[in-house]
Amino acid sequence: MNKEYLGKIVNVKMDRPMGSRHPKNGFVYPVNYGYIPNTISGDGEELDAYVLGVFEPLDTFKGKVIAIIHRLNDNDDKLVVVPENKNYSNEQIKALTEFQEQWFKSEILREDTKEYEILSENCKIRWIDNFQLNGEQYTQVSGYVYNEKNQLLIVKNKNIWTIPGGHPEKNETQKQTLERELWEEACVTLKDIKYIGAVEVVENERVYYQLRYTAKVAKLLPFKQELEINERAFVDLDDLSKYIKWADGETFKKQIIASKNVWNI
- pTM for the model stands at 0.61
- Across all residues in the chain, what is the average pLDDT? 92
Number of domains in the chain: 2
**Phi, then psi, of 48 in degrees rounded to 5:** -85, 160
Do 108 and 121 sit in the same domain of this protein?
A: no
User: How much is the pLDDT for 210?
Assistant: 97
Last residue of a domain, one of 112, 140, 164: 112
pLDDT tens column, 224-253: 887 779 999 999 999 999 999 999 999 999
140-171 exposure pattern, b = at least 16 Cβ within 10 A, e = fewer: bbbbbbbeeeebbbbbbbeeebbbbbbebeee
Last residue of a domain, one of 47, 80, 112: 112
Total number of residues shown for the chain: 265
pLDDT tens column, 104-141: 888 888 865 556 788 888 898 989 888 888 888 999 99
150 pLDDT band, cuts 50/70/90, is very high
pLDDT tens column, 168-203: 999 999 999 999 999 999 999 999 999 999 999 989
Do 122 and 107 sit in the same domain of this protein?
A: no
Do 65 and 153 sit in the same domain of this protein?
A: no
